[in-house]
Amino acid sequence: MEIAPRITVNEKIRFGKPVIKGTRVPVDLILGKLAGGMTYEEVMAEYDITKEDILAVLDYAAKHLSGEEVRAVI
């Protein structure tokens, strides 16, 4: 099931974690690689994905986090 452009979930693939459509590459893996300093080009070569896939991952993450509420406990 497509949950966002280029992002899908399927309980039989990666235990239902969001992945890039048509692959078994999890969204969180790509975010981690970028956060760890890999360039778009390195990620694209390593996981055989496109720049559009990476941008879809970033868009999905941004939209998912925008709904998150964090409360400070003092």
pTM for this entry: 0.89
- Domains of the chain in start order, with CATH, are 2-66 (1.10.10.10)
- β-pair partners for 26: 19
**pLDDT tens-digit map of 29-56:** 999 999 999 999 999 999 999 999 999 9
- pLDDT in the model for residue 52: 98
| Residue 27: HSE in the Cβ half-sphere, 13 Å Cα cutoff | 22
Please, what is the Cα angle at 49 between 44 and 54, to 5 degrees? Answer: 75
Q: Is the pLDDT of residue 16 over 90?
A: yes
Q: Is the pLDDT of residue 11 over 80?
A: yes
- pLDDT in the model for residue 35: 98
In 3D space, the residue among 43, 61, 62 whose CA is nearest the CA of residue 51 turns out to be 43
